[in-house]
Amino acid sequence: MSSVLDDIIVGVRKDLHERRQATSLGHLEARIQTRRAALEVLPQLRRPGLGVISEVKRSSPSKGALAEITDPAELAAAYQAGGAIAISVLTEKHRFNGSLADLDAVRERVEIPVLRKDFIVDDYQVWESRAHGADLVLLIVAALDDAELRRLHTLVTDLGMTPLVEVHTPDEARRAADLGAELVGVNNRNLKTLEVDLAQFGRLVDLLPAEAVKVAESGVFTPEDAALVHSQGADAILCGEALVRHGDPAGAIAAMIAACR
């Protein structure tokens, strides 16, 4: 029986085929030549304290519509004002109601690194990410075999971007370690069942390379949640739902950072 992740990837591949027909790889390569170099994020994430990667997220498969984000750039600017170290932009269309247009809008507005958060399964998407100004690209270990993961990880770095390698099981954590990933996210959400368990980060963190920058993803809603995962070894959190539903996202980010000082 197919999982939620499997179903999402079917849609991702369909959309990818359509975009590939509309925009050639050569066009993407030419567009990259006009872009400034990707911004570095690892030095900032290695500083003391908690880094917050704040997410532009309209919907999710588990909860449906989360927020009506009419101006993703304005939301990203609020995130930056609150102290976010980077902005994550969901670009998957069917389950998350995102788009590359959102990525373009955010990249034009903020001065901090921007992560393209999607289900990356093909080299074309990596070239596409850099062409649209991404500085980081999410690579989900559960969606890739070892050869695909290594090839995409190499391409992301070759294009000057930073791969965020996402894991959610002990086996995936070992695969990320074997890859030599420098930036690893532990997703507290099981991508096959969509259940969230904030304790997952603490269970997996010791399986990751000591020198890797570690990000706790999903299930962080309060400053107390942020302080908990930070105490367990998280250098950063990736937070979306709590922020898009908050009346004061900048204040919410500042409170999470303050809780970890």
The catalytic site residues sit at: 55, 57, 117, 166, 187, 217-218
Q: Under 8 Å CB-to-CB from 139, ≥6 apart: which residues?
A: 120, 149, 152, 153, 156, 163, 164, 165, 166
Cα–Cα dist 112/87, whole Å? 7
Q: What is the DSSP secondary structure assignment for residue 101, as one 8-state letter?
A: H
Cα–Cα dist 134/222, whole Å? 28
Name the helix (H) or strand (E) containing 156.
helix 146-158
Q: Taken in order 133, 135, 141, 146, is the CA torsion positive or negative?
A: positive
Q: Which residues pair with 61 in a beta bridge?
A: none
Cα–Cα dist 56/241, whole Å? 9
Cα–Cα dist 256/259, whole Å? 5
CB 126 within 8 A of CB 137: yes
